[in-house]
Amino acid sequence: MSKHRNTQPSKIDELESIRGLAALMVVMSHVPAWSLQLHSFPIFRNAYLMVDLFFVLSGFVICKAYSSRVNSFMELAKFQFLRFGRLYPVHLTFLLVYLGIECLKYVLQVKFNMPSLNKQPFSENNGFAFLKELLLIQAFWPNQQAIVFNGPAWSISAEFYTYLIFAFITLFAKTLKFYFFGLLFLVGFILLLVLDFNGYDFMMRCITGFFLGCLVARMYERYSLPALNYNYLSYLLLGTIFVFAYFTDSRNSLNVIMFLLTALLIISILKTNEAGKQTILSNTLFVWLGKLSFSLYMSHSAVLWFYSQAVRFVFKRPEIKVENLLTPQFSNIEGMFLAIGFLATALCCAYLTFILIENPFRRKSRQFIGLKA
């Protein structure tokens, strides 16, 4: 039995918190192998799956807000401009930071005879790679070629053009749009399940997750759900996601299950919220982390480069090659404290990025098209 529902608030804290926790896991997954034992911990090694969680959440939020609002080319242009204003200023900032890093490495190598211990300046991060990131099109290249300059930005590239697909379908398909959303999800899900994309799956992952999120928004709006204790179900699903991330690996085609687990988690949180109950995810600290999630995700890689150079310079430990990167070695306890120090530094940088770049440009983009900031 269908029914229309407009009782949910425009922003749900628990969903923001999930985004923040996922961003935190991605950040921790990029911590160097200062301690080999800590570095091999599966839940961090497999945190790339959290990006799929981002995609489903993004699809849900965007569809919930805009599925009935893109009714003309002008509305489509406004929608895409808002997405640009949300993503690009932070993206451009850290692209330029990475360009500065490459220039610094080049000067140190040429002028001071201090060669880079890992990647040579402007080798992978060359002019063409910079152009791809500048135009935000790197996700259309093979995965390894998409992770250039600020590597995490590949997902922003994929999302930006998935937003455009969403907007065009919403504008032209009208009442049939959710059939198209369902088709895109179903095709993407099956292809990811049965095919080995061999390093070409970035766009497919984004499209699959995003349009599943759109379907979740539609289904929750239109259909009644069984009466269950969704509060406990939320905890169960959140735990299942972490357990799944612990036991899987990058070669497992069943990783597509992460899309479905995220969809169920969103629904359970919505139902818990609807019942006037809260979970631990409504804690102020988690909500704050969710607010910073985009800035944290986009800034942490550059922060890590500077932090790693400081660690190398201060401690002067023996280095070994791990995953083709020379890395100083420490005990487990030392490695844990170094990781905590990096995380604290990354959160400080994310907070500054949020208040100085992300939030101001978001407000300005909304004001530019006549919306309230």
pLDDT for 195 beyond 90 = no
- Give the tens place of pLDDT for each residue, 202-230: 999 999 999 999 999 999 888 877 766 77
Can you give the three-state secondary structure of the chain, one letter per residue? CECCCCCCCCCCHHHHHHHHHHHHHHHHHCCCCCCHHHHCCHHHHCCCHHHHHHHHHHHHHHHHHHCCCCCCHHHHHHHHHHHHHHHHHHHHHHHHHHHHHHHHHHHHHHHCCCCCCCCCCCCCCCHHHHHHHHCCCHHHCCHHHHCCCCCCHHHHHHHHHHHHHHHHHHHHHHHHHHHHHHHHHHHHHHHHHHCCCCCCCHHHHHHHHHHHHHHHHHHHHHECCCCCCHHHHHHHHHHHHHHHHHHCCCCCHHHHHHHHHHHHHHHHHHHHHHCCCCCHHHCHHHHHHHHCHHHHHHHHHHHHHHHHHHHHHHHCCCEEEECCEEEECCCHHHHHHHHHHHHHHHHHHHHHHHHHHHHHHHHHHHHHCCCCC
Mean pLDDT in residue range 150-156:
95
Q: 328 φ, ψ to 5°?
A: -60, 145
Residue showing tokens 């990029």: 30
> Confidence band (pLDDT; 50, 70, 90) for 3?
very low
pLDDT higher than 70, residue 9: no
Q: How confident is the model at residue 116, as a pLDDT?
A: 83
Per-residue pLDDT of 321-367, as tens digits, reads 988 889 999 999 999 999 999 999 999 999 999 999 999 999 999 99
Q: What is the pLDDT of residue 279?
A: 79
pLDDT at residue 10 is higher than 60 = no
Tokens of 216: 């979740």
| Residue 8 pLDDT grade (very low, low, confident, very high; cuts 50, 70, 90) | very low
For residues 33 and 321, give the distance between their C-alpha atoms in angstroms, rounded to a whole number: 9
Q: Which long-range contacts (CB under 8 A, 24 or more apart) does 7-13 make?
A: 7/274, 8/64, 8/270, 8/273, 8/274, 9/273, 10/65, 12/269, 12/270, 12/273, 13/281, 13/282, 13/287, 13/290
What would the mean pLDDT of 258-277 be, rounded to a whole number?
A: 89
Per-residue model confidence (pLDDT) at position 78:
96
Q: Which of the four pLDDT bands, split at 50, 70 and 90, describes residue 100?
A: very high
Q: What is the pLDDT of residues 217-266, one digit of tens each?
A: 999 888 877 766 778 888 899 999 988 888 887 667 889 999 999 999 99
